[in-house]
């Protein structure tokens, strides 16, 4: 696939951003200034100030002398990157790869994206209209390389659409500054009379390198597509992601469901082809006002069953607020697992296997009642009861040991034993009664003790002597004494579980 890049140049980035925040400045001539070597220098101007002949780099005192009514605002340090990052996040609706291009631009990797808008002309037009509607003055161009797109956006005069293979023709009439060269290099070129790129386009690279340095050769090769230029996207691209732009903004639940079903079919076919299944899915709706509505689901096993995933996500569609309308839908699978043999027994793309309904039931319960409604526990290799189990998220994980079955265990085990007060004979008799939460329980039957030692490789401490006791009402409890009487004098007693 032929690479295509879009460069967006914000001509008055900070000034436009200030005007968006303070609309009362709409008809004013204003600039943003910052300190430089003990004096205030203009950093950014608005379009009206530029029309009056005031440009960045001018000393504020000189500008005020020419135009006393000029409004001066302080430039906020670090604001440029904040604005560019915010705009880059907004532009993700057009492509998943958007990079910041300081101090006043963005780079979009539009490869394979423009056809979703009906072609590159409509793609570029939509970007321009939306950004201008937000209040920004922009110029944009699309080309086969970042360098040419950047050059044409800032210096081009003919067309912003540069076909692949026409890079040299497009940049030939432009000034050397269009290659993003440093000022010292541009000064050298000016001295030898190179006012256009065509003046040195045919000069051998060795001559250019000797006269103007390696950066000049590198920038020229990047612009012509003979050298790779890396761009760093503001958000890492998920390997499993599908996008669906809308010809017209949509607001109805039916339209959202159609978009969701379409994206799920695209994503699940790809996952099934690669023998993978998703464990988590994120469905995002990009609204006209710039906000993003998002819902997500998780599954107990890798799944590429379209109908099942659609039912899970459709439960949350009511949480999506379309407001003025949604113009782009994105479905991402940030967590994907390989579909092994055990997974194939639980899930299939068509949903025909016997155990599919059981696994899908767990997912539906989880989505309807909350993430903690269904839990799975496996036996763990520990002595103390509160450590003898562990929660697991996967249905396919195997236990490392078996559950103890030689001695009875309570139906409900307290995660942390609760201390109780007891009245008990000594040395090894069970209690005659115990007090728990200000209530006294008289014991009529007891069985024990069962000794459980401390795990010396984890921590040092006393052993536990467990008893199963039954009160007058027939309720049974699991209690233990910590240590021996002769070791502690007055040992502590704890309630650890309930049998009924």
Q: Is 439 contained in some domain?
A: yes
Q: Which of 317, 338, 369 is the last residue of a domain?
A: 369
Q: Is 218 contained in some domain?
A: no
Q: Is 461 contained in some domain?
A: yes
- Rounded distance between C-alpha atoms, residue 328 and residue 113, angstroms: 12
Instruction: Supply the angle between the helices 183-191 and 205-212 in degrees, to the nearest 10.
Output: 110
DSSP state string for 57-126: T-BHHHHHHH-TT-EEEEPPTTHHHHHHHHHHHHHTTT-S-EEEETTTEEEEE-TTTGGGGTSHHHHHHH
428 and 363 fall within a common domain:
no
Place of tokens 């003919």: 158
418 and 347 fall within a common domain:
no
Place of tokens 């709706």: 285
350 and 459 fall within a common domain:
no
261 and 358 fall within a common domain:
yes
Q: Is 293 contained in some domain?
A: yes
Place of tokens 């925040």: 21
Q: Is 36 contained in some domain?
A: no
Instruction: Supply φ then ψ for residue 45, to 5 degrees.
Output: -125, 160
Q: Which of 369, 384, 404 is the last residue of a domain?
A: 369
450 and 359 fall within a common domain:
no
Q: Is 343 contained in some domain?
A: yes
345 and 462 fall within a common domain:
no
The tens-digit pLDDT sequence of the chain (500 residues) is 789 999 999 999 999 999 999 999 888 999 999 998 889 999 999 999 999 889 999 999 999 988 989 999 988 888 899 999 999 999 988 998 999 999 999 999 999 889 888 899 999 999 999 999 999 999 999 999 999 999 999 999 889 999 999 999 999 999 999 999 999 999 999 999 999 999 999 999 999 999 999 999 999 999 999 998 999 999 877 788 899 988 889 999 999 999 999 999 999 999 988 888 888 999 999 998 888 999 998 887 788 889 889 988 988 899 999 998 999 999 999 988 887 544 444 444 444 444 456 666 667 666 666 666 677 788 888 888 888 888 876 666 778 888 877 888 888 889 889 999 988 877 667 889 999 988 999 999 998 888 888 877 777 778 889 999 999 999 999 999 988 776 556 788 999 999 97
Q: Is 342 contained in some domain?
A: yes
Please name the helix (run of DSSP H) or strand (run of DSSP E) that holds residue 261, with its range, or none. Answer: helix 253-273
Core vs surface per residue 321-345: b (16+ CB within 10 A) or e: ebeeebbbbbbbbeebbebeeebee
344 and 440 fall within a common domain:
no
322 and 266 fall within a common domain:
yes
On whether the CB atoms of residues 222 and 229 are closer than 8 A, the answer is yes
Mapping DSSP to helix (H, G, I), strand (E, B) and coil, where does residue 256 land? helix
Q: Is 34 contained in some domain?
A: no
Domain range for 427 is 412-498
Q: Output the pTM of the full model.
A: 0.62
Q: How many domains does the chain have?
A: 2
**CATH number of the domain to which 314 belongs:** 3.30.1490.100
- Rounded distance between C-alpha atoms, residue 404 and residue 452, angstroms: 13
Q: Which of 349, 369, 389 is the last residue of a domain?
A: 369
355 and 245 fall within a common domain:
yes
259 and 346 fall within a common domain:
yes
252 and 357 fall within a common domain:
yes
341 and 421 fall within a common domain:
no
């Amino acid at each position: 696939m032929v690479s295509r890049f879009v460069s967006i140049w914000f001509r008055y980035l900070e000034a436009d951003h200030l005007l968006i925040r303070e609309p009362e400045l709409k008809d004013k001539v204003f600039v943003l200034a910052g300190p430089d070597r003990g004096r205030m220098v203009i950093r950014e101007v608005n379009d009206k100030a530029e029309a009056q002949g005031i440009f960045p780099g001018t000393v504020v005192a000189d500008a005020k002398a020419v135009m006393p009514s000029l409004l001066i605002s302080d430039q906020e340090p670090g604001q440029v990157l904040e604005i560019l990052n915010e705009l880059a996040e907004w532009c993700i609706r057009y492509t998943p790869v958007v990079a910041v291009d300081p101090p006043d631009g963005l780079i979009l990797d539009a490869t394979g994206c423009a056809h979703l808008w009906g072609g590159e002309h409509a793609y570029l037009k939509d970007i321009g209209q939306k950004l201008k509607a937000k209040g920004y003055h922009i110029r944009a161009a699309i080309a086969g390389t970042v360098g040419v797109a950047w050059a044409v956006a800032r210096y081009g005069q003919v067309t912003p659409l540069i076909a692949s293979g026409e890079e040299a023709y497009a940049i030939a009439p432009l000034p050397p500054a269009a290659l993003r060269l440093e000022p010292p290099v541009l000064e050298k070129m000016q001295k030898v009379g190179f006012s256009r790129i065509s003046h040195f386009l045919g000069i051998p690279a060795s001559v250019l390198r000797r006269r103007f340095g390696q950066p000049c050769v590198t920038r020229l090769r990047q612009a012509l597509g003979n050298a790779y230029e890396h761009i760093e996207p503001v958000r890492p691209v998920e390997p499993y992601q599908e996008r669906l732009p809308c010809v017209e903004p949509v607001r109805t639940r039916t339209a959202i469901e159609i978009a969701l079903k379409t994206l799920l079919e695209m994503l699940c076919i790809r996952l099934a082809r690669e023998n993978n299944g998703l464990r988590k899915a994120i469905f995002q709706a990009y609204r006209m006002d710039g906000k993003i509505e998002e819902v997500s689901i998780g599954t107990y096993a890798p799944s590429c069953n379209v109908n099942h995933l659609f039912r899970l996500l459709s439960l949350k569609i009511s949480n999506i607020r379309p407001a003025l309308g949604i113009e782009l839908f994105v479905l991402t699978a940030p967590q994907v697992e390989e579909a092994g043999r055990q997974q194939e027994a639980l899930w299939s793309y068509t949903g025909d296997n016997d155990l599919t309904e059981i696994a899908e039931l767990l997912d539906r319960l989880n989505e309807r009642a909350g993430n903690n409604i269904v839990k799975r526990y496996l036996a763990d290799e520990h002595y103390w009861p509160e450590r003898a189990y562990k929660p697991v998220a996967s249905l396919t994980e195997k236990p490392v040991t078996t559950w103890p079955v030689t001695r009875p265990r309570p139906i409900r085990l307290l995660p942390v034993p609760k201390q109780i007060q007891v009245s008990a004979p000594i040395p090894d008799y069970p209690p005659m009664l115990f007090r728990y939460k200000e209530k006294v329980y008289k014991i009529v039957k007891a069985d024990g003790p069962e000794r459980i030692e401390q795990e010396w490789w984890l921590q040092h401490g006393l052993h536990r002597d467990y008893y199963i006791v039954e009160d007058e009402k027939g309720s049974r409890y699991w209690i233990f004494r910590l240590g021996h009487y002769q070791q502690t004098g007055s040992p502590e007693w704890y309630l650890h579980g309930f049998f009924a």
